[in-house]
Chains A and B, each alone.
Chain A
């Protein structure tokens, strides 16, 4: 191919390329691009649920709209969960009033969960998913699993497996500040 034809090809590619990019640009207002159907996937609104906490109080996820939420699924029999719970407690204290830490316990007796929480000094909300219905709705296949939900209730990150202080700091950046 001659030099001229190459130049024409490059300029044409650039011109058509810029038009296609411009035509497909996204609106700056994120609300226009969020898929409105709740689903346990990044980019979707987090499915709402109502449970009772280990302290006997009603808990509704939608009530937390307006502040970022770290939604963790755990159980007392799960060693990685036990390892990460102190990190979540530390974050709960560090970001008190700015980020909500929620630890959904999966299908365990309320008394056992309450005793375990007292033993570890956990102060964040622990809703009890006694029939594992919320876990199923969130497609939780292994524990721990953690969803990072932004102020608008949209899931921004999903972590399967434990978080450490470093990875928690990293993941929190996606929803806070």
Chain B
């Protein structure tokens, strides 16, 4: 475990560094995939940066609205550098709106852009998982396996490594699909199915977290993962049918 990188007198927390690296890798891999699909790779960087900025603003605004009584007497805190003062869902919504707006204004093909972004997002997720391993976050369930790690004095599954390997495997599969010229949207749907199934499969290897359960003890990450995988499989089914129909019409 290496939660802090000590460089002389400088203490750098590894997890935020890993997240920065993950973001850069996600954009770079996505841009390369976009070029392979005949798109301008800069669009991936633009969407990523705009979405990040919108997410930061939306996340902070959401926090201000949710905790307005606390901000009312300290208005300057609205602009403060506090990494905790963000809410996820407003951030995600703002990022989605801005990214959609960019795609619409640039008249970019949605399915192809999602195909391009998918391997980058998976590679970024893999790096973030390895960052969590270094920082001792999102650690695994107790285990007696030869490859167990020992964060906080307990032998555990290196669940972050399992998750990173799964994300990388799906990313490689998706890149292979892109190289072979898959149908628009298929690579993104396979990425969603693969990632969803990996979360569904691997979540039990994480340390149990009762606060992350629904319906009397079901792990929410597993439920969401399975739901995402089923939606993606349904999408692939529809995509296959449409392509088939299009082929018939063309004949």
Contacts and interface: CB of A to CB of B under 8 A. Distances in A.
B218 A162 contact: no
Contacts of A170: 63, 66-67, 84-85
A77 interface: no
Contact of A14 (B63, B154, B230): B230
A55 interface: no
B152 interface: yes
Contacts of A30: 210
Given A20-B201, A20-B222, A24-B203, A164 B70 contact: yes
B237 A25 contact: no
B236 interface: yes
B85 A13 contact: no
A141 B11 contact: yes
Contact of B233 (A9, A41, A164): A9
Interface residues of A, number: 46
B234 interface: yes
Contacts of A40: 152
B154 A13 contact: no
Nearest to A10: B233
A35 B70 contact: no
Nearest to B223: A21
A35 B240 contact: no
Given A41-B136, A41-B152, A21 B70 contact: no
Contacts, number: 124
Interface stretch (B35-43, B75-83, B174-182): B75-83
A141 B153 contact: no
B3 interface: yes
Interface in B1-27: 3-4, 11, 13
Contacts of A6: 233, 236-237, 240
Given A6-B236, A25-B219, A41 B139 contact: yes
Contacts of A171: 84
B233 A165 contact: no
Given A13-B233, A169-B67, A164 B217 contact: no
Q: Which 4 A-B pairs have the closest CB atoms?
A: A39-B152, A166-B70, A6-B237, A165-B70
23 contacts: A6-B237, A10-B233, A13-B233, A14-B230, A17-B200, A20-B201, A21-B223, A21-B226, A24-B219, A26-B219, A30-B210, A33-B210, A35-B142, A37-B152, A41-B151, A156-B211, A162-B82, A165-B73, A165-B77, A166-B63, A166-B77, A169-B67, A169-B70
